[in-house]
Amino acid sequence: GAVVSQHPSWVICKSGTSVKIECRSLDFQATTMFWYRQFPKQSLMLMATSNEGSKATYEQGVEKDKFLINHASLTLSTLTVTSAHPEDSSFYICSARDDRPPGAPDTQYFGPGTRLTVL
């Protein structure tokens, strides 16, 4: 159980284009999902917290108009990188928090990640 998928697993795009990444919780509902970014040899940095039916909460320094997040259902959140540039090239990882009690309500399950390369 507690499987999270991401699509696509990798994408190459031209500078200036937009890219959408999907994150799905396959066997549980997730009111809250998180989006992370990881540059080579660095740790995961939280970009934003995505809540179903409401606006995402962005971390300091993350441009909300550039990284659009939509959490339209309890199993799907999307991240759109708008007008992508080479410096946006990174490994984007989502996680989902299982809504079901009991257990550890704050345990996050990670998707496999999406590697974005902007040319």
Question: Using the rule CB under 8 A, is 8 a contact of other proteins?
Answer: no
Under DSSP, is residue 76 helix (H, G, I), strand (E, B) or coil? strand
Question: Using the rule CB under 8 A, is 97 a contact of other proteins?
Answer: yes
Contact 38, 95 (CB under 8 A): no
Question: Using the rule CB under 8 A, is 21 a contact of other proteins?
Answer: no
Question: Using the rule CB under 8 A, is 62 a contact of other proteins?
Answer: no
Spell out a b/e string for 83-109, using b for 16 or more CB atoms within 10 Å of the CB, else e: ebeeebbbbbbbbbbbeeeeeeeeebb
> Considering CB under 8 A, how many residues would be counted as binding other proteins?
22
Q: Which residues bind other proteins (CB under 8 A)?
A: 32, 34, 42-46, 49, 93, 95, 97, 104-113, 115
